[in-house]
Amino acid sequence: MAGCSSAQIDTLRLAAPVIAPSMLACDFANVEREARRAEQAGAQVLHLDIMDGHFVPNLSFGLPVVKAIRRVSTVPLDVHLMISQPGRYLERFREAGADFLTIHIEEEPDPTALLDKIRSLGAAAGLSLNPPTPVEAVEPYLDSCDQILVMSVMPGFGGQEFDPVALDKLERLKAVASSRLLLSVDGGVNEKTIERCARAGAGMFVVGTAFFGFENYQQRLAELTDLADTFTDA
């Protein structure tokens, strides 16, 4: 359904701070249980990391897993495409159930056409930038985006150390971007780093290890949300 996902992004932006559990860190022997438990714990979105072993030095999961998670979850699926030539797969990830599709500026230096295509598919368009990439690289494209995903680790793996370079970028984007843009941060977000991310302007916080590494998902989600809430202006 065209446009539904931008409404979903608006809902999440207004619900800020939103924790987006990153399924890369879940128990893949029990994906259905993990997705359902995260949603029952209060997760309003699930972050799905797609890796092709080419754009990033790791392989994660692809279309069949997205389809399977779509079947067992009712929340928006925030699909992070860490793949080369993402334009080849946009339709298929949308058909598989992706509500948000995020591509990397490092792979698509002029992303306008792909961002427009994502929106034409009815998904919300996201643009991501890695720690070494200056925030100026994405600024010309903000009007074509519904989400900017600021990486605080080099993409490819969960459980890495948070890189504070993301904070300056979040502050800059908060200052220059329209208030309708969802600002997200991804990588090494935990109880020690989430407050700084919120203070810098993030509204959505992708959390893998620091969420799925805990027994009680509901308690963990509440802890992280409370920490972010202190500094989030909706």
Residues that bind ligand DX5 (CB under 6 A): 22, 24-25, 47, 49, 80, 82, 153, 155-156, 158-160, 186-189, 206-210
Q: Is 78 in the site for Zn ion (CB under 5 A)?
A: no
Q: What whole-number distance in Å separates Cα of residue 32 and Cα of residue 68? A: 8
Residues 6+ apart with CB under 8 A from 111: 103, 105, 127, 141, 144
- Report the partner that residue 111 touches, choosing among Zn ion, ligand DX5, none (CB closer than 5 to 8 A by kind): none
Could you say which DSSP state residue 161 is in?
Answer: P
**201 token code pair:** 């302007």
- Has 10 been annotated as catalytic? no
Neighbours of 226 (CB within 10 A): 12
Q: What whole-number distance in Å separates Cα of residue 76 and Cα of residue 123? A: 10
Which residue, 223 or 233, is less far from ligand DX5 as judged by CB? Answer: 223
Among 37, 70, 80, 169, binds Zn ion (CB under 5 A): 80
Among 34, 39, 49, 108, binds Zn ion (CB under 5 A): 49
Q: Which helix (H) or strand (E) holds 29?
A: none
Give residue number: closest CB to ligand DX5.
208
Which one is catalytic: 49, 78, 99, 146?
49
Which one is catalytic: 78, 99, 146, 186?
186
- Report the partner that residue 104 touches, choosing among Zn ion, ligand DX5, none (CB closer than 5 to 8 A by kind): none
Do 141 and 23 form a contact (C-beta atoms < 8 A)? no
Could you say which DSSP state residue 12 is in?
Answer: H
Interface ranges with Zn ion (CB under 5 A):
49, 80, 186
Annotated catalytic sites, by residue? Answer: 49, 186
